[in-house]
């Protein structure tokens, strides 16, 4: 098992092997139209030990509403796992926001900017 997968399990506190791919998390997620992989597919990547999971854009599209956690019959809680994947990336010093590229930053509500910054920067 790759070191990344072990770290994700450690950070999330979840057993990804309990997932039996029912797809309830993906069916409940309001952001799936914008994702490159559905939540249950990301979990499957982890089950297969695929360390390319750190490159999946879906974990950054996730709005952390945790609806997937509420719907998961096995308590795998994909929202927690997505958070762990984001943490691993951010701890490497890879920020997902480029502030200099934002236009009209003064038009953005301050609470939205703070929430976005907390999620996307280290």
> Can you give the pLDDT at residue 1?
65
| Residue 109 confidence (pLDDT) above 90 | no
| Residue 6 confidence (pLDDT) above 80 | yes
Which structure tokens are listed for 33?
């139209």
* CATH superfamily label, 3-91: Alpha-helical ferredoxin (1.10.1060.10)
Return the number of other C-beta atoms located less than 10 Å from residue 114's C-beta.
Answer: 11
Tens digit of each residue's pLDDT (9 = 90 or more) over 10-64: 999 999 999 999 999 999 999 999 999 999 999 999 999 998 999 999 999 998 9
Which has the higher per-residue pLDDT, 66 or 103? Answer: 66
> Can you give the pLDDT at residue 112?
67
pTM: predicted TM-score of the whole model, two decimal places: 0.81
The Cα–Cα gap between 78 and 14 comes to 9
For the chain, give every domain's residue range. 3-91
What is the DSSP code string of 92-107?
TT--S--GGG-S-GGG
């Amino acid at each position: 098992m790759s070191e990344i997968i072990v770290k994700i399990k450690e950070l999330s506190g979840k057993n990804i092997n309990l997932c039996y791919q029912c797809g309830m998390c993906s069916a409940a997620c309001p952001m799936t139209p914008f994702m490159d992989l559905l939540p249950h597919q990301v979990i499957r990547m982890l089950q297969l030990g695929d360390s390319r999971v750190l490159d999946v854009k879906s974990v950054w599209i996730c709005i952390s509403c945790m609806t997937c956690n509420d719907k998961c019959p096995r308590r795998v809680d994909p929202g927690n796992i997505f958070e762990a994947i984001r943490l691993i990336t951010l701890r490497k010093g890879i920020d997902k926001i480029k502030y200099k590229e934002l236009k009209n930053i003064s038009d953005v509500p301050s609470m939205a900017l703070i929430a976005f910054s907390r999620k996307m920067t280290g």
